[in-house]
Homo-oligomer: A and B are copies of this chain.
């Protein structure tokens, strides 16, 4: 009667089946032999419907992100580490220290367990490296053709720094716009991977957890007004959001925004604009002008901010336009997403 329980999960050759989502023994086995084994920590080990956590010494921040990236594995990462990094970054740019993650999986019947195990191992690695454990989770299975392999929603809990009050609504005319490095790596890596393009220098996603960089930056400049990780829609979308929330305009300098050579080549080939390409490890930070040098120094001292630069200024604008002085000496409006959509980039 208990034999089904004693046969271990066949992670090498097995596939996700509907019983893995039924809430019965197969679900328990998948959770224990794959998820808990990889992601193990004292909270997950509690084995209840949620995690009991310590008291949080500060105001809470909560952020959630569904991840539906396609392909699930791409140069520089996979949906597993992306789901960890993306939510850590959402919490961090609120001016908070990320503490815990919850992860919920929607799996398609027939998905290879070996690939799922790689994804979970990648989550475990990135969560360990970031010091932010996955403390609770859930798994559902849908019939073949009703999902696309694996979708992962991660939700992050953090605590706000007491002396920081960052929001997209706090940018003011005169503030400076800082960017932590070259743009478009993640979006172009995904696109190149979909189109089977190869370049002399391969394009690799920049997926990374930014909370370390953000922490150093806020230590140096607690007066930071606003931060964003420039994911879907690229720095164009992130800056337009801030412009609208703060009821300001911005003027960027194209010459200050760097794009790696292979990313530039991919953009030309595919007709993409790097301003709109997703990044998964780049920080936009807006701060008062008198703190710009201190902020840049703090960013450049961190491995993920070595190429940090001031890329523009906030200015008054009744129309809340984000504009850009181009390399050729002209000026253009950097509108919200223009041209083609890039679905399932994250």
Contact = CB atoms under 8 A, between A and B. Distances in A.
Interface of A: 1-2, 18-19, 21-28, 46-56, 58-68, 70, 90-91, 93-94, 96, 100, 102-106, 135-143, 145-148, 151, 153, 155-157, 160, 167-169, 228-229, 231-233, 237, 241, 244-245, 276, 278, 319, 333, 335-337, 341-344
A102 B344 contact: no
Q: In terms of DSSP, what is the predominant structure of the interface of chain A?
A: mixed
28 contacts: A1-B333, A21-B341, A22-B341, A23-B233, A23-B237, A46-B169, A47-B168, A49-B93, A50-B62, A50-B64, A50-B94, A52-B160, A53-B59, A53-B61, A54-B60, A55-B58, A56-B56, A62-B102, A64-B102, A64-B103, A64-B136, A66-B105, A66-B138, A106-B151, A142-B343, A146-B147, A147-B151, A153-B153
A63 B344 contact: no
B59 A52 contact: yes
Nearest to A101: B62
Nearest to A50: B63
B63 A49 contact: yes
Given A23-B337, A49-B94, A106-B106, A54 B59 contact: yes
Contacts of A51: 61-63
B143 A22 contact: no
A156 B102 CA distance: 10
A336 B28 contact: yes
A280 B104 CA distance: 19
